[in-house]
Structure 1
Amino acid sequence: MTLEIQTPEAAQSTSTLPQLEQEQEFNWRHCWYPVAFVQDLPKNRPYSFCLYDEPFVFFTNQEGKLTCLTDRCPHRAAKLSDGQIIDGKIECLYHGWQFGSEGECLHIPQLPADAKIPVNSCVQSFTVSEHQGIVWVWPGEPQAANEEYIPTLAALDKPGFVHTDFMLDLPYDQTYFVENVMDPAHVSVSHHGTRGGGNRKNAKPLDMEVLESSKALIRGRWRQTEKPDDVWKHIDLFAPNLVLNTAEFKDRGWSFGLALYSIPLGKGRCRLLARGYRNFFTWTAKLKPRWLEHWNTNKILEQDLPIIVGQQAQIERLGESLKDLYLPLKTSDVFVIEYRKWLDKFGQSLPFYQGYSTSSHTGDKDGCNNQSALSDRFSRHTQICSSCNRAYQTTNRLKQVSVGVAIALFSLAIVTDSFEMQIAAVSASLGAVALAVIAQIVKTKFERSYKRH
């Protein structure tokens, strides 16, 4: 499924989604879900994740192919992701049972040599695909999986485009994330003064049009009401997990896109895979390392974080429909309401959802109001981002070495009888202390979330 950048004049979809439209009801298992960027997956150990609270595990088999299994050993229900990979097989760390890429049990150490492996000792396997640098999983029947329906960004295959990737786990439901990124009106206020964010002066009425709404997608465009000659910006939802923001500036030949993939990890948890791409100022992409660019991206997402967590907690505490709670405006909330109504129509098959008039939510209503999760950038991003994790480990080692050097030099200054040596040792020790302080400041950037106050 190829997604083309929309021009301001375009009012119809340039891509087709026959798979979703052919089914009479929306089936969440008959969809591809983005799990992680290929560059962020570990090469030599299992990788665990959840989809609607169901546990899965990735590992690489002997042929180098990525495999997905249910993350549960059939022996005593231990997590396979806590195990290890041996010769292309995943081994449960509890009793050493080993499984192949199809989920078949290949070895049970405690079984007598002449005994057959039980037929019910296998683990369910799932279809995996690597596409444009993203790993996708199909949670339904393997025979129904069709890689043609994985969203493809046509711009990434064109010359002259660059892109940046970012991944973040969020402590709220996926539907609240989709609502947030289909709301252009909040950017001017919530992200005021942030690079790549907005400006409060631009918080004004918007012209918003829904161009198409179906089971497969919602397509819309918007611009400021007082600027009728402005370029239309497009927001398209490709159900159930891709929101694509695009804009074209024809007079300059510029094209911009922001693909926001999301996966519902579970109740009160989702993951964002963000991919921004453009064909202008491409030289700037080489100036910053990926981990440094992520500092600003984290800040933008964390500006919304406490707002959305609080929003979901309030809604679940009140237990009323959004139709009764929301006071939507036609000049700011059109896409948000269209999406929530889409959930009313097609969300009944989802394990949990929040539509406009209907919902299906279970669990602790205060479960999302977790203050520790709000401040923990390390768990939400650094641990799952290969670039930031490497930079964090390097910074941590630099801090430890600097502290050790500072102590050694200061000790030398104490024991030496040479005044010149004392001065040199103390000066060098202070330099090492300064380097350790800088390393600690940088290290904190990987650990703690941005706070407004």
Structure 2
Amino acid sequence: MITNLWYVAEWSEAVKDKPVKAKLLGQNLVLFRDLEGKVKAMADVCLHRGGSLAGGWVNEKRDCVVCPYHGWEYDGAGKCKKIPSEGPEFKVPDRFKVDAYPVEEHYGMIWVFMGDLPEEERYPIPPLAEYDNPKWKALKTDFVWKAEASRVVENGIDIAHASFVHPVFGYPSTAEDNYIDEVEKHEWWARSTNVMFPPQLKGGFLGWRNFIRKDKQETRVHPEWHLPGMIVRIQIDLREGWQIVMFDANTPIDEHTTKTFAWQFRSFFKQDIFDKGSVKRLKTILLEDAEIVEATQPYYLPETLANEVSVKSDKFMSTFRMARRKLVEEKGWQIDMDERDKHKGKQVLTVASPGRREAEANGDGWVFEKMPTVAPIKKATAKNEFEKDVDNLTTESANSKDSFVV
């Protein structure tokens, strides 16, 4: 699990006048709306005797969440503002604070930045131009995987599996005809264009889907990944002017569980009568993927290619692996789960927040210890062997039939 990234914690509509519990990177959070309607997010634990703040309430001023155990109040910055048992004249010490995290709301989602980077150093929340655009019909759903988030992302951008896992997307007999036409790489995101030859679509109200495309008609598919939000975005060009866009935020609840917050957009047949079938098909695809991904070994995404092989159809997935690997090896943003588990049930550990970073810079104290991370093992210098392998994959001819194994 990676810190210092934006993650979707909840749908916006789920957080109203009461505190809401969420879980990101194995850590419980409490979300609440203040008087201005802005969502606040902080560690869901009281400094006093460990009560769950999410089990409490928002005070009358709507500027603090109240612990249900002893009534301690915390503002949106995580600072304890009131301790009822000590009386109104008691001055709360400066160090009585918990980690609070930056929050933004976009696309009907609550995004929480789980880390301590200054604002100017954070990777941006990915764009979603289709949201609130009348040219697109939007539908949403969510889905829980018993799988690690990076595995879920990699599956989402793996076009080659469609011919075997998703009957609606491909034939096993045309797997060798599908190819990656183009790959565009950036530091925290990438996009590819793929050419596929899927089956004719079937079903829908009065069989409307049968008329979208012919059997094995050349179809262009554009997958993207973004590190912020662990986003998978896929655009499918069904025919001229007819596109489907899927935007999935894959949140690491913990190292064993991922929750997908998904938007699906279509540029055609935007009447409500077609919605039920669209949602049903989306959930069918997620279930087909989950059956495969949840049985994958090893459980975590391999950090090297030493005991795994890749071929040219994997070159786009490899761009994700390489970018993620840099966060681990160069930046040291991966949670050290072995070290964390030594304290499980014994001590509260919380992901470091911007407030903690500022306090440490000023020499101020902090009550809870911060979540341990894996120390970086190299600097960004010459390319390592993994990066060279990825470059080989991405520069080889996209539609070559020669086997290229790493």
Could you say whether these structures have the same fold, taking a TM-score greater than 0.5 normalized by the shorter chain as the test?
A: yes
The amino acid of 1:36's aligned partner reads: E
* Cα displacement (A) at 1:267: 1.3
Give the direction of change, closer, same or farther, for the CA distance of 1:78–1:344 in structure 2 (3 Å limit): same
Counterpart of 2:309 in structure 1 is 327
User: RMSD of the TM alignment (CA)?
Assistant: 3.4
Cα offset, 1:96, TM superposition = 1.4
Structure 1 gaps, min length 5: 1-26, 353-359, 365-453
Counterpart CA distance in 1 for 2:243 and 2:115 is 36
Q: 2:240 aligns with which of 249, 252, 256?
A: 252
Q: What secondary structure does 1:333 align onto? A: helix
Report whether the alignment pairs 1:83 with 2:56: yes
Tell me by how many angstroms 1:44 deviates: 2.9
Alignment of 1:233-382 (within 5 A): 233-240=221-228, 241-248=230-237, 252-283=240-271, 285-288=272-275, 294-312=279-297, 314=298, 323-330=305-312, 332-348=313-329, 349-351=332-334, 362=338
TM-superposed deviation, 1:162: 0.9
Among 223, 228, 233, the alignment partner of 2:195 is: 223
Aligned length: 319
Following the alignment from structure 2 to structure 1, what is the Cα–Cα distance between the partners of residues 220 and 296?
Answer: 29
Which residue of structure 2 aligns with residue 117 of structure 1? 92
**Which residue of structure 1 aligns with residue 80 of structure 2?**
105
The higher-RCO structure (CA 8 Å, 6+ apart) is: 2
The question of 1:46 aligning with 2:19 is answered yes
Residue pair 2:9, 2:24 contacting (<8 A) in 1 also: no
1:170 touches 1:269 (CA, 8 Å); kept in 2?
yes
Aligned partners of 2:226 and 2:232 also within 8 Å: yes
Measure how far apart 1:341 and its partner are.
3.0
Task: Answer yes or no: is the 8 Å Cα contact 2:4–2:117 preserved in 1.
Answer: no
Structure number with the higher helix fraction is 1
1:446 is aligned to none
* CA distance in structure 1 between the partners assigned to 2:180 and 2:337 by the alignment: 30
Contact 2:227–2:324 under 8 Å retained in 1 = no
Per-residue deviation at 1:50?
Answer: 2.7
- Counterpart AA for 1:98: E
Q: Secondary structure, in 3 states, of the residue corresponding to 1:275? A: strand
Tell me which residue corresponds to 1:6.
Answer: none
For the pair 1:73 / 2:73, whether they are aligned, the reply is: no
Tell me the SS of whatever aligns to 1:76. Answer: coil
How big is the shift at 1:337?
2.9
Q: How has the CA–CA distance of structure 1 residues 119 and 344 changed in structure 2, closer, same or farther, with 3 Å as cutoff?
A: closer
Deviates more, 1:104-113 or 1:254-263: 104-113
- Cα distance between partner residues in 2 of 1:231 and 1:300: 18
Change (3 A) 1:187 1:125: same
- What is the aligned partner in structure 2 of residue 31 from structure 1? 5
Residue-by-residue CA offset, 1:20-55 (whole Å, 9 max, x unaligned) = xxxxxxx9654322222223x142322222332233
Specify the code of the residue in structure 2 equivalent to 1:350.
Answer: W
Query: What amino acid maps onto 1:95 in structure 2?
Result: H
**1:113-155 Cα shifts (integer Å, max 9, x gaps):** 4332233222332221111212111234485169993222223
Kept after mapping to 2: 8 A contact 1:242/1:259? yes
User: How has the CA–CA distance of structure 1 residues 172 and 253 changed in structure 2, closer, same or farther, with 3 Å as cutoff?
Assistant: same
Cα-to-partner distance string for 1:270-314 (whole Å, 9 max, x where unaligned): 22111111211111x35546xx865543332222224222214x4
Distance in 1, Cα, partners of 2:85 & 2:283:
48
The 1:350/1:210 distance shift into structure 2, 3 A limit, reads farther
| CA distance in structure 2 between the partners assigned to 1:159 and 1:130 by the alignment | 20
Supply the distance in 2 between the matched residues of 1:147 and 1:175 (Cα, whole angstroms). 20
Residue identity matched to 2:40: T
**Separation in 2 of the partners of 1:183 and 1:305?**
14
Residues 137 and 208 of structure 1: is their aligned pair in 2 closer, same or farther, counting only changes over 3 Å? same
Aligned pairs (5 A) from 1:143-162: 143-144=118-119, 149-162=124-137
1:166 maps onto 2:141 in alignment: yes
CA contact (8 A) 2:153 2:232 kept: yes
Aligned partner of residue 195 in structure 2, secondary structure: strand
Deviation at 1:361, TM superposition (A): 6.7
* Letter in structure 2 aligned against 1:100: D
The superposition leaves residues 222-270 of structure 1 with CA deviations (integer Å, 9 ceiling, x where unpaired) of: 1138999834321121224222111345x63223211121222221222
- Kindly provide the CA deviation profile for residues 307-364 of structure 1, in whole angstroms up to 9, marking residues without a partner as x: 222214x456xx976524433332x322223322333334333325xxxxxxx87499
- Asked if 2 retains the 8 angstrom alpha-carbon contact of 1:38 and 1:134, the reply is yes
> What does residue 404 of structure 1 align with?
none
